[in-house]
Amino acid sequence: MRVTSLTAVLATSLTVAAAAQEMTAPAQRPPSNISVEAVLTNGVVDRAPQDTATTIAAPAEADTVYLWTRVSGAEPGTVLHHVWFKGDEQVADVELTINGSPWRTWSRKTILAGETGPWRVEVRDAAGTVLQTVSFTVGS
């Protein structure tokens, strides 16, 4: 009976010690070796951006813009996100799977008439860490 009690006390002590360590130790993540280059463009041809843009003319009806991204240092199967914002409102989250290094990928967003003002796209890793932000303006 003493062995059972001693085992229970040791198990409880280890659980309490582990819980205390989790509460006091800062969360640490391994450094990312991923590098990202992202540009806003009006089109992608042969996996390359046609141009770069920081201002988009206000569309009369609708217009499509692209966030082109080159990723280096990522393992195959790595997931990134293009998270699109109009002002402070998130309007899209596009999941992209990276299958090599370097890897080029893109997402697109249709901008409707009247959707003028500040926009941004955040390139995030699977944990939600922002790797790069591209800001642009629709309209003048």
Report d(CA 49, CA 46) in Å as an integer.
8
Three-state SS at 122: strand
pLDDT at site 135 = 97
Strand order in the sheet with 35-41: 35-41, 62-72, 103-112
Q: Which residues of the chain have pLDDT under 70?
A: 1-32
* Domain positions in the chain: 35-138
Report d(CA 63, CA 119) in Å as an integer.
14
The answer to pTM > 0.85 is: no
What CATH number is given for 35-138 in this structure? Answer: 2.60.40.10
pLDDT at site 32 = 62
